[in-house]
Chains A and B, each alone.
Chain A
Amino acid sequence: MAPPKNRRLGFSRRAHFGLFLSYVVAIGAAIIALLLLAISIVDPRGFSALRGAALDVTAPVASAGRSVIDFFGGIGDSVSNYWQAGSENAELKQQLAEARRELVRRQAVEFDNRRLNALLGLARTTQDEVTIARVIASSYDSPRRLATISAGSAAGVVPGQAVRSPDGLIGRVLETGRWASRVLMITDGASNVPVRLVRDGTPALAVGRGDGTMELRTLEVGQNPFRRGDILVTSGVGGLFPPDIPVAMVVASENDTAIARPIADPARMDYAVVLRIFQPAANGPLAAAPPQPVAPPVQGPPVPATPHPGQQNNPRYQPALQQPQPGMLTAPAPAAPPAPPAQ
């Protein structure tokens, strides 16, 4: 293609100055962008008002488009269902018979469970939902896995709440607009979900890999308890996700790593339930703990330090080392855990 005509500026001093100024502005904009990016990285919840407003503007359009997609997707499903009706019928009958047997067994177990819980005096907390919303879009052109749902702060959605579909866990709310919010999906690289194996209760951490799968990390090193087809549910550890929501199914388990796929298929999610934060204290800022008066460390005989609950099982834990030694920097007494705010 021919070179553009006004690249050569001639001798006009004004034109030269204009070009120079445009570069100054561009470089200035790049520097400001770098600062904004640094702020976004350090404080991901910054600019939330601005971003929430943009979310509110774009979500209705995506929502309308999603209805169209659902409509056409529905047509495709109906056509293929029609063609496969015969073979599917026999298969479904067989599955129904199996499911019925399974249901009877489940009911027996459920009854047993209720009886045992009553025996222990455990009260099951009701996991009431905040709202029900539609999943309207997801980021498909960036390495992050973010979905948009059609409910925002007007419906009581707060960042940190878990989002599930009827099948399983989708993720947790990242930022909210007034009528729409963005959800960090469990397959995102920054998402960690504490899970446990349904089969034997082994705790693990499901970490997203950004490509639609998750990697399972056990707490014990050198063991791989996962088999193909294993189901993982949330364990409730950490307090954000309520326990016993189906999360993923193991699809590959090699030497040291296990790969799982989310049970809630992202392409088929249409409705999502936003759940209350399991333990509200888990979502509070770290600085919310009340300041403890710091006692001077040298007065009086040293108080025998009680092992922290997490350290009691640690074979390397040595209580003697916890006593203040001469020349050792003493820390203030361990602060009592903050009481969860009243609901």
Chain B
Amino acid sequence: MRWLLLKDLQILRRSPLLVALLILSPVIIALLIGFALSRGPDEPRVAFLNLVPSNETTFDLGGRTVDATQYSGRLFEAIDPVRVKTRAEAIEKVRSGDALAAVIVPEDAADKLRAELQGAGERPTIEVFYNASDPVKASFVESTVKSRLADANLALSGQFTKVAASYIGLLLRGGGFSLLGQRIDVLGLQRAKTILEAVQASLPARDPGRQALQRAIDFAGLAIDNLDLSNNVLASINQPIRIHRTVLGGKRTPLESFAVAISVTVSLMFVTVLLASGMLALEREENAFPRLVRGLVSRIGLLAEKIGLAAVCAGVVAFAMLAGVGLFVDLDWGRLPLWLLALGAGALAFAALGVAIGGLAREVRAASLLAIMLSLPIAFLALVPNGAVAGGLYDVIRVVSALFPFKPALQAMNAALNDSDPALPVPLLHLLALTLGFGALARLALRRFG
């Protein structure tokens, strides 16, 4: 078997292009998947035109100064703003595809907002133009703009609530405020009640005015009691639903760390499966199989050699990739033995799947094609999250995923890297069972291999 192993390594060394493709393409695919998973969508380019005069971006709201630019700033966090000078330029940017959308804040927006706060006039309207040539991005832009405008509305309503609350406080406790440059003092219900009670007390016991004053005092008391609750009511309107987050089932893994586990597992899968299936199929394609198994090497020995070769080579590639990723992502190197355990078990299971594919396909090209056609859907199925599809379908996906090594290998890698659930022994045992199962399938496939 040693000589066969050396022969295979020699063949790989003589095929640098094939080896480069075999290593690079899975690594690139894996990195792209990991990158896509760990990063949100790109910030879309959005043309932005603010027609509000610069000296009108701040205004007084119930004694508080509100800066409208802070709300546009929130929108800018989610987009790549392209500042334009005219409405026509904004629309042209969208038409030409230079921007996916345009947001135009009309020049009367601040005035309308101010008037609205004073209970007069109509609500200001912000214009949004979309470019729907890329449905995915258009949808993203639309939802981003909607969501950020909702944020801005919420923030403004918060200001409104505070202003309303301060007016109510004024009615309740009294005080002063400015209107058109004049200082106005308000008595307030509490002080009015106190005055009325004092006046009532000074009246003779049988004075008919006492009854009228009592009614006014009762009203003031009722108004004081109820307006005292109004702050809580207004706060509830401002934020009607509060969210309390609770994580159920499984330890929380940062998306970035999970993406590393996915990248390494995808890379490990492709390199191992392609190498094992190709190297076994090559024995038949080169017509060497009958010559080898007539006493030179046993069939099980031949399978073990291919599994070992593919597992070691792919394990080295995956570890190198992990070490490379470790330069950019914070990984716990103290867990290195667990990484190696997960990589080893995953590589063996993938290699067993590979030799089963190689045994069934019997030709290198057919084996490679079958390996890719089988591996990709299995990987994607294993990544379907719970709740993303109907319950029955998810059960089917779970069963299918359990029959192939990708999901347990990913679980093992995630457990080794991030101490996630399920704990490492569970996927390791699963991988061991799959290694034996696919090894047995490969041995059966060799019956029709010669």
- Check if A and B associate: no
Q: Footprint of A on B, CB under 8 Å?
A: none
Which A residues are within 8 Å of any B CB, using their own CB? none
